[in-house]
Chain A
Amino acid sequence: MNIVVVGLSHKTASVDIREKVAFAPTQMEKPLRALLAIEDIAEAVIVSTCNRVEIYISTRDIAGGMARIKRFLADYHGIPPEILEPHLYAHHGEAAIRHVFRVASSLDSMVVGEPQILGQIKTAYGYAAEFKTSGIILNRFLHKAFSVAKRVRTETKIASSAVSVSFAAVELARKIFGDLSDKTVMLIGAGEMCELAAKHFINNGVRGVMVTNRTYERAVKLAEEFEGKPVSFDDLFDQLHKADIVLSSTGATQFIIKPKDVEEVSRRRKLKPMFFIDIAVPRDIDPKVNDVENVYLYDMDDLQGVVASNLQQRAEEAKKAEAIIDEEIGQFHKWLSNLEVTPTIVALRSKFEETRKAELEKTLASWKDLPPDGAKRLEALTAAIVNKLLHPPTATLKRAGQGGRTDLYVDALRTLFELQTGESEAEELGELEE
């Protein structure tokens, strides 16, 4: 049995192709059943997110399997195959295992290390399990992918740092204040960036929100949106001491907050720490504010610097993650190869045994003057011949199984001796191994 992966992602297809190929998450039963109805596809899982669409199958026929999935994707979505083809990638064997492990560990994501993809694959697997389109091999395969992703997450720092400006601001706030749940954020001015950052702070548990704007009506409107308190712009410095985190983004051409203002505010706060985030360009807050005791000021450049170094750190952590994946691929590949060794040996033996028995019976039935112990001796002779002949291939196959490279032998034996191994045997073996 082989694992085959066919799909496309943000790396190979633009969004106008991806949206055509996407599967609706609420209607997975139909495509999954359609896949399983295709010849020689034993198991199937469909992963469909906004950044990728991938189909995982187990099949005996690698080339045929790939071609059939490509055909299925084109037909199902009504796209001409020649348009879809250049965007598709197809992997089998070790490459397929590596691909899925990397995807699950978020090494193939647009933002490396973003955590959603693992959940999306788990959901996709959930559908396949619900409609029973995944079996012994894909079950094992995806569980392995989940555990690899978990290992990558815990053993590397791939997802430990913020890679957007507003998350970087939240993270800095955590390092200054620890718990944010009793903190208040003050928004000065408006703007997309500022509101986004404010939302992140609220999502991360900030308790109070104050909003001020040169136009008081806008402050009132924005305050309503955040369930906060509007403050008139003239009262800014009367109210500023109530804020722990200050997000500023006005259109002012000169600094509106200066060190001496902050010193005054800080005294009123009994030197409790303050975190100023200046998102405006040109800047709203005098950079010297950063020199005031227990006050921290980050402007847009500072935050982008933090993000850049975090991204670099992720790239370094990704290398460690690749090493973990290499290690896990070896183990899984060995299991997959071994999955077929025992049933093949069993099938080979029973084939020989059946032939021997059939021929022996024929001979015994037609042999008139058989000596009294003749039947017994013929039985022993033929059994010995079969055993002697089967010993070398059995031993070789078992040895090959230890090294994890059995596909060639298993395929050759099956073809040469026309062996049939039922799925039930593979399944039994799989359960034993679980």
Chain B
Amino acid sequence: MNALFFNMTLAIYFAATIAYLAYLVKPREVLGKVSCCILSAGFVAHCAYTVDRYLEAGHTPITNLHESLSFFSLAIVGIYILFERKYRIFILGSFVTPVAFLLMAASTGFPSAIMPLNPALKSKWLMVHTVMAFLSYAAFAVAFGAAIMYLIQQHFLKSKKLGPMYQKLPSLDILDEINYRCLTIGFPLLTFAIISGAIWAESAWGTYWSWDPKETWSLITWFVYAALLHGRLTTGWRGKKAAILAIVGFFVLLFTFLGVNLFLSGLHSYK
């Protein structure tokens, strides 16, 4: 049953990716709506998969890389659908949906068997901490997509090469606004994820902060986004600067999420 939901999700995300890429080539309103419907169907299947796995395992299914990648993908799709409802920019999906699909595909590369939970993780904090962390990651992933689009569109406008791609991309203003909105969603979530992690660490390991690689890198990520938010609110870092920082921030975040688990060992390295 669980594998069925998973494969269904993977297949639908693949279809949605194709549909959104087709939209990139031929931006027809109908195609955009169809793409959005396919993706929404995938989201439902993905939720079913996640809930089913939660019931089967008896704990929040974000305890290994397979589950984390899947949940990351789920969160990205969820946040993206929210943005699409608000801004009606289907083309953002052409940049975000492939990421969600690739994350989902990547999760198949890691063992998916449900393992008994490490006793250290048995806590109500598991859900709060991980869900918030991944929701913040997802918001930053959408910001990353919007930032890439911003830089492309900005390049067209500066160089005065106004080809078909320029016509398809939305205005700089909207892309910058999405960047900002994502930041205002992602940053508080990341902050709470770190704080809840510290509280949990105190009860599980007896200390709030132990400079474990994950903690260190989370803090670095937090600083990058804090700098971006600060710059935006005070000196008006907008447009190009904001886009570049959103991209840098996302790479740091990816390292925090994947690099730390794959290359460094510490308290967060659950295999």
Chain A residues at the B interface, C-beta cutoff of 8 Å: 157, 160-161, 172, 174-179, 269-273, 290, 293-294, 296, 298, 302, 305-306, 309
Contacts and interface: CB of A to CB of B under 8 A. Distances in A.
Contacts of B236: 269-272
B160 A176 contact: no
25 contacts: A160-B167, A161-B167, A174-B171, A175-B153, A175-B166, A176-B172, A178-B170, A178-B172, A179-B173, A270-B236, A270-B238, A271-B236, A271-B237, A272-B236, A273-B172, A290-B158, A293-B240, A293-B241, A294-B239, A294-B240, A296-B157, A296-B158, A302-B160, A306-B160, A309-B162
A113 B160 CA distance: 23
Contacts of A271: 235-239, 241
A249 B168 CA distance: 31
Contacts of B170: 178
Contacts of B239: 271, 273, 293-294
B171 A306 contact: no
B127 to A, nearest CB: 39
B180 to A, nearest CB: 13
Interface string B216-253: 00000000000000000001111111000000000000
A293 B241 CA distance: 9
A290 B235 CA distance: 21
User: Which of B162, B167, B171, B237 has the most CB atoms of chain A within a 10 A radius of its CB?
Assistant: B162
A178 B162 contact: no
Contacts of A175: 153, 157, 166, 171-172
A410 to B, nearest CB: 41
A259 B7 CA distance: 56
Contacts of B173: 176-179, 273
The 7 nearest A-B residue pairs measured at CB = A270-B236, A178-B173, A178-B171, A294-B239, A271-B236, A175-B171, A178-B174
A298 B238 contact: no
Contacts of A177: 171-173
Given A178-B172, A270-B235, A294-B238, 6 more contacts: A176-B171, A271-B239, A272-B236, A272-B238, A290-B158, A298-B160
Contacts of A306: 160, 162
Contacts of B157: 172, 175-176, 296
A305 B237 contact: no
A174 B167 CA distance: 11
A79 to B, nearest CB: 46
Nearest to A310: B162
B174 to A, nearest CB: 5
Contacts of B240: 293-294
A273 B172 CA distance: 9
A305 B235 contact: no
A184 to B, nearest CB: 15
User: Which of B167, B172, B173, B235 has the most CB atoms of chain A within a 10 A radius of its CB?
Assistant: B173
B70 to A, nearest CB: 35
A393 B235 CA distance: 87
A66 B157 CA distance: 53
A43 B51 CA distance: 68
Contacts of B172: 175-178, 273
Interface in B86-139: none
A160 B27 CA distance: 13
B181 to A, nearest CB: 14
A174 B238 CA distance: 18
Contacts of B241: 271, 293
B84 to A, nearest CB: 17
Contacts of A302: 160
A298 B160 CA distance: 8
A302 B236 CA distance: 29
